[in-house]
Structure 1
Amino acid sequence: MAIRDDAGFADLRSYAAIGDGRTVALVALDGSIDWYPTPDLDSTPAFARLLDAREGFLALAPSTSYAVERRYVDGTNVLETTYTTDNGAVRVTDSLNTGVAGRLPWGELARRIDGLSGSVDMAWSIMPGSCFGTASAWLDGEPDHPILRINGIGLGIRGIDHGQHPPTGQTVEGSFTTSEGSRHLVAVVSTHDEPLPLPDAQTIDDGVDRTIRNWQVWSDTVAYTGAYRHAVLRSALALKLLLHSPSGSIAAAATTSLPESAAGGKNWDYRYAWVRDTAYTLHALTRVGLREEVHAAVSWMLKNLRSQGSDLEVFTHLNGDTPEGTRHPDLTGWRNIGPVVDGNGAAGQLQLGVFGDLFDIVWEYVQSGHVLDPTTMRQLAGIADLTCDIWHNRDAGIWELPEERHYVSSKLGCWNALKCAVLLAEHGQLQGPVERWATERDRISAWVNENGWSEERQSYVWYPGSTDLDASVLLHATSGFDTGPRMSATIDAIRDELGSGPLIYRYSGMQQEEASFVACAYWAVSALAAVGRRDEAVELMEQLLPLANDVGMMSEMIEPADNSFMGNVPQGLSHLALINAALAIAGPADPMTS
């Protein structure tokens, strides 16, 4: 399989992700890091060859032809890639290092090279781009300790027996030859608008081992031991990459502008924290026994919503700031499929499903043995009251569409919000007009049964008066709205119309516009289990799992014709949907040990 096309773009399946709790780097099969924003995941990246061949990379690979295999070190997000040439073999270990007590206060990208057999000629190159057309890199520092600077970012180059050449222009590069048992290192230390520490190279190399230990200690806290344990742990590790530890927020994905369609136009920036994605992620992480990340994210989400008053934003920056619009940098886009988008235009939309997402995770949090504080109780009571009033409105729906309608899944989100509000009140975790919440909950249920069901289609439909289908309705088998014959028939209708093999498109008509949406297929697994069709759920699950790439990473979308990745990557919704599907198959009795 060719790793890059003639324009220099790697297949999206070829990327593996590494991270440190603050940002993510994407490593291609040929050893090039083509995406590395620093200091934060949503910072303007100095290395973005993913989106334009001119936009910077950190390359490291044998100088001659090779075969390649790779894996993550067990229980970690540290990547091991083995290159085998005619003359020998070498292993590259890629790590975004963490510190003794958590994340480091600077970025530390370490690339350890170990000679395994024979000799291998290796070459490396570090060349920043233009930070989305906003700056030019320049060379600073001493010749033996070069520093690249761009847009306030300082990039210090460190190494062990790395054969650095005299730096020139905007590039630092080198070459060396491995031998059996040899150890080499190429590392980049980074800060932004602050002094740049330059740790000893051996200290950085030692940090790789510490980072492996840190990840493995974290993985030991993942309590799930049921079926598909390996896939569940790998997806939990992928979600951990998207958790922004300085704030507690969770990004929807690690990238921007990777196209959902080969025709272009559907390119979005997902480096933000959505209430929806946060809630779904926390639902998955709670159920596999994680505590610290869940508390941090729940607290961040509630505080962030509190600061917004009654105008709930569906997403914010990772630091909680309100998005300020979009711009379109003059970049080609991946495989020249534009546009490249910095920002997301869905800000300010009304999405009623957010109410259900919020209450669902709070109820999950309380069910896990935690308690709410008085301020949060007052906040949630006010949101429950708002839900009673606002569910009647049209909205943009879960898919953030420009045309507002009475989307059935949005009404079901409001139903779920009020269901959870009543349950919280019954458990002493909420005070307010409970009878009103229960009455409106039942009114929504009656509305959906009258307006959202089509006898003609034998399915819940996308919106009243339509015969179109929407895969997001499947989420409400697991929410508990319907686990009976109607939901079972809806699963069949959706798989029949929106399905392609095991994969499923988002809603009617999308087969002509974009690739299938990975999470929808895993929602179908969970829905099948919820309506009692467990054998079919298992069959579908086992068809879906091999569609991840060689290291278990998933994108937002998959093109059914050739199983190629499309959309942003790694995509949180895809990985959390996998986890929830495994838990649904395991069953409600004891998902940790089933």
Structure 2
Amino acid sequence: MNRKQPDIRDLAVIGDRRTAALVATDGAIVWYCPERFDRASLFAALLDPERGGEWTLDLPAARLATRAYIEDSAVLETRFDLAHGSFTVTDWMTAGDVGPRGICRLFSAPPQDVAMALRPAPGYATRTARLRAVDDAVCIDARHWLYGSHPLSIREGGVGMELPAGQAGWAVLSDAPLAAPSHAQLEGWRDTTLAEWREIASQVAYHGPFERQIAHSLRALRLLTYAPNGGIIAAATASLPEIPGGTRNYDYRYVWLRDAGMIVSALVRAGSHGPDERRFLDFICGSKRAEPDKPLLPPFLSLDLEAAPGVTELDLGGYAHSRPVRIGNGANRQLQLDGFGNVLLAAKLIYGRHDTREHWETVREIADFLAAHWHEPDHGIWEENVARQYTVGKVIASCGLRYIADFADDAAQAEKWRAAAREVEVYVAAHCITSEGAYAAFAGSEAVDVSAVLFPTWGYGAPDSAEMLATLRVLERDYARGDLYWRHLEEAGGREEGAFLAGTLWVAQYWILRGDLPRARRMLETALAYATDLGFFAEEADPRSGAMLGNFPQTFVHASFIGAVIDYRHALAEAANAKPAST
């Protein structure tokens, strides 16, 4: 066996809003963590094609013809051109109350014999799967059951099925034993899943520029939402590298406070009726800690509302030989002020949209915490190892306190928060400006970070202030290549990573505020060039090779794209309304 790892750009995502699987353009399922996004993998060929496990189709001389989702669902149809005709595979994970938890695959009648092979590698390939024939199924580790339309055979540590030419077929990998399925049942499960996704998609109605691409980004956010409690994870994968062959390989299958403001803003402003963003706030506020010696909220959470586990390194080859391969995340004990500020921004948006003050006790405690602790060094928006006085954390704390003061219980409470916000502004002006007049990445630094372009979007100063003009000059000189932008990292290797796509979209949003819509559109289109054919973004892009880098798909980037496009739509409308009537 000598399989290549798929390019990140070639990956599609199927899911049931509990977990997800990644499907390559050759029909192989190369990443799957049964039951929940952050559980151990059964297939991890994405990180080790030799040992990681996968579910493949043997299609000699096949050419990918088309692949697309049915409607706004996560039901994926892939059509291959074979030597004597076409062959279609429909992949999905059942949603709704009908059907198994697991992966369903429908196969059209192929023009030639097709072989299917499932090679499980449980626990991130740390153990050999126990395979046992049970009636018409194969049981895997007494936890998963594989059913097929044609006889299944156990061989060489895997399970095979032959699909003869001219015969349609199917396969189901279930988390529980089933009564023997039929082709008609699978079609019924597919139709029920489509109906469920129609209902989910109906909660947001966006019309305007980049309409198809916005639909793709909304699908990404929905796919990475954990339906049982509303948590939205950062990405479906772990350890996809920010630097190919390097060590910046992290596990993103957790829920970050930092993402809250950006994701809630995207959903609210895209026209959501409320369920997803309000449940996301439910999730975040449900994680409040009671320990007096710890921050009120951890910077990110597992899907059971606990601090995410620490790092474990796995004996896997790594994507593009990038090691170590990590699960868990070691930044879970850091103080990250920007996370608290983002929760306040999210609450403000929901309160304003829905005329409510849900979770007010927790939101009030977050505001009190920021008012009391904004002056402390933290680890910043990029979770650097060394704590510093990062400017972005100060600024978003100030903005969050000002905004949430509008919902305060009384005048004294509101003034306490506004006074703290003013103190932050004085501190930033005195300590967080470089010798060139730009916003510094942290107090006393001459470096600049792309997150500063968000300040006027948050309402912190004008987009054409002297500080912002200086900041853009430095970013364009030192952190840009064409229309792509890099973030500033103090850590070793930071200069070697790819362009940061969310930052590029933030710069587009900045130019929308400045009224330069052609430049903003060009940047939006540049970012879209680093999306997949199905509209998914990874975290970063390598402009030299065109490769996508980092974990996938990245909700932070999708939320940033939605926010920038919404601002672009509003700016276009304002420009149209401002045109003088023709005479």
* Structure 2 length-normalised TM: 0.92
Separation of aligned partners in 1, 2:431 and 2:3: 51
Shift of 1:39: 0.6
Contact 2:391–2:442 (CA<8 Å) still a contact in 1?
yes
Q: Structure 1 pair 422/589, CA: closer, same or farther in 2 (3 Å)?
A: farther
Separation of aligned partners in 2, 1:363 and 1:588: 23
Matched pairs, number = 567
Q: Is the partner of 2:455 in helix, strand or coil?
A: helix
Separation of aligned partners in 2, 1:362 and 1:431: 19
Q: Is the partner of 1:26 in helix, strand or coil?
A: strand
Aligned to 1:11: 7
Q: Structure 1 pair 244/363, CA: closer, same or farther in 2 (3 Å)?
A: same
Separation of aligned partners in 1, 2:94 and 2:180: 12
Matching residue's letter, 2:111: S
Aligned to 2:211: 229
Is the aligned partner of 1:184 residue 2:169? Answer: yes
Aligned to 2:487: 506
Q: Structure 1 pair 90/324, CA: closer, same or farther in 2 (3 Å)?
A: closer
Separation of aligned partners in 1, 2:366 and 2:134: 58
Aligned to 2:471: 490
Matching residue's letter, 1:366: Y
Between 362-371 and 579-588, report the one with greater CA deviation.
Answer: 579-588
After the TM superposition, which residues 23-38 of structure 1 pair with which residues of structure 2 at under 5 Å, given as runs?
A: 23-38=19-34
List alignment gaps of at least 5 residues for structure 1: none
Q: Structure 1 pair 325/306, CA: closer, same or farther in 2 (3 Å)?
A: closer
Contact 2:87–2:107 (CA<8 Å) still a contact in 1?
yes
Separation of aligned partners in 1, 2:61 and 2:518: 49
Q: Structure 1 pair 307/184, CA: closer, same or farther in 2 (3 Å)?
A: farther
After the TM superposition, which residues 67-466 of structure 1 pair with which residues of structure 2 at under 5 Å, given as runs?
A: 67-100=64-97, 106-115=100-109, 119-142=111-134, 144-149=136-141, 154-160=143-149, 163-168=150-155, 170-179=157-166, 183-191=168-176, 196-198=177-179, 200-201=181-182, 202-290=184-272, 291-305=274-288, 310-373=295-358, 376-425=359-408, 433-454=413-434, 456-466=435-445
Shift of 1:501: 2.2
Aligned to 1:587: 570
Is the aligned partner of 1:529 residue 2:512? Answer: yes
Separation of aligned partners in 2, 1:314 and 1:530: 30
Q: Is the partner of 2:112 in helix, strand or coil?
A: strand
Between 250-259 and 5-14, report the one with greater CA deviation.
Answer: 5-14
Shift of 1:467: 1.7
Separation of aligned partners in 2, 1:143 and 1:378: 55
Contact 1:346–1:400 (CA<8 Å) still a contact in 2?
yes
Q: Structure 1 pair 499/382, CA: closer, same or farther in 2 (3 Å)?
A: same
Contact 1:498–1:508 (CA<8 Å) still a contact in 2?
no
Shift of 1:143: 5.4
Q: Is the partner of 1:93 in helix, strand or coil?
A: strand
Contact 2:233–2:254 (CA<8 Å) still a contact in 1?
yes
Shift of 1:27: 0.2
Listed one character per residue, the Cα deviations across residues 490-536 of structure 1 (whole Å, up to 9, x for unaligned) are 23431332112222111167673211111111111112212333332
Q: Structure 1 pair 496/7, CA: closer, same or farther in 2 (3 Å)?
A: farther
Aligned to 2:580: none
Separation of aligned partners in 2, 1:431 and 1:157: 63
Shift of 1:250: 1.1
Separation of aligned partners in 1, 2:309 and 2:452: 31
Matching residue's letter, 1:272: Y
Shift of 1:61: 4.4
Q: Structure 1 pair 589/562, CA: closer, same or farther in 2 (3 Å)?
A: closer
Listed one character per residue, the Cα deviations across residues 471-494 of structure 1 (whole Å, up to 9, x for unaligned) are 111222210102332324423431
Aligned to 1:471: 450
- RMSD across aligned positions (CA): 2.4
Contact 1:90–1:178 (CA<8 Å) still a contact in 2?
no
Q: Structure 1 pair 582/275, CA: closer, same or farther in 2 (3 Å)?
A: same
Between 204-213 and 465-474, report the one with greater CA deviation.
Answer: 204-213
Shift of 1:316: 1.2
Contact 1:148–1:170 (CA<8 Å) still a contact in 2?
no
Q: Is the partner of 1:282 in helix, strand or coil?
A: helix
List alignment gaps of at least 5 residues for structure 2: 578-583
Is the aligned partner of 1:20 residue 2:9? Answer: no
Separation of aligned partners in 1, 2:418 and 2:429: 17
Aligned to 1:563: 546
Q: Structure 1 pair 534/84, CA: closer, same or farther in 2 (3 Å)?
A: same
Listed one character per residue, the Cα deviations across residues 156-191 of structure 1 (whole Å, up to 9, x for unaligned) are 12223xx43432353111122343xx5321221114
Separation of aligned partners in 2, 1:86 and 1:197: 36
Separation of aligned partners in 2, 1:178 and 1:489: 66
Between 462-471 and 230-239, report the one with greater CA deviation.
Answer: 462-471
Q: Structure 1 pair 226/483, CA: closer, same or farther in 2 (3 Å)?
A: farther
Q: Structure 1 pair 379/119, CA: closer, same or farther in 2 (3 Å)?
A: closer
* Structure 1 length-normalised TM: 0.90
Listed one character per residue, the Cα deviations across residues 218-266 of structure 1 (whole Å, up to 9, x for unaligned) are 2233221121111111101001111111121111110101111023110
Listed one character per residue, the Cα deviations across residues 523-582 of structure 1 (whole Å, up to 9, x for unaligned) are 111122123333321221122222211111111111111220111111111111111110
Contact 2:62–2:80 (CA<8 Å) still a contact in 1?
no
Q: Is the partner of 1:94 in helix, strand or coil?
A: strand
Q: Is the partner of 2:488 in helix, strand or coil?
A: coil
Separation of aligned partners in 1, 2:43 and 2:17: 18
Shift of 1:408: 0.8
* % identical equivalent positions: 28
Q: Is the partner of 2:248 in helix, strand or coil?
A: coil
Separation of aligned partners in 1, 2:335 and 2:230: 24
Q: Structure 1 pair 199/97, CA: closer, same or farther in 2 (3 Å)?
A: farther
Between 460-469 and 343-352, report the one with greater CA deviation.
Answer: 460-469
Separation of aligned partners in 2, 1:400 and 1:508: 9
Contact 1:126–1:173 (CA<8 Å) still a contact in 2?
yes
Contact 2:43–2:124 (CA<8 Å) still a contact in 1?
no
Separation of aligned partners in 2, 1:551 and 1:349: 35
Listed one character per residue, the Cα deviations across residues 414-472 of structure 1 (whole Å, up to 9, x for unaligned) are 112211221222xx6x7752212111211211222232233x43421212322211011
Between 332-341 and 534-543, report the one with greater CA deviation.
Answer: 534-543
Matching residue's letter, 2:249: N
Separation of aligned partners in 2, 1:432 and 1:24: 48
Matching residue's letter, 1:484: P
Separation of aligned partners in 2, 1:389 and 1:588: 38
Q: Structure 1 pair 397/250, CA: closer, same or farther in 2 (3 Å)?
A: same
Shift of 1:378: 3.1
Is the aligned partner of 1:550 residue 2:533? Answer: yes
Shift of 1:315: 0.7
Separation of aligned partners in 2, 1:98 and 1:438: 45
Listed one character per residue, the Cα deviations across residues 289-341 of structure 1 (whole Å, up to 9, x for unaligned) are 32211221111211212556643200111111222311112111112211111
Q: Is the partner of 1:400 in helix, strand or coil?
A: coil
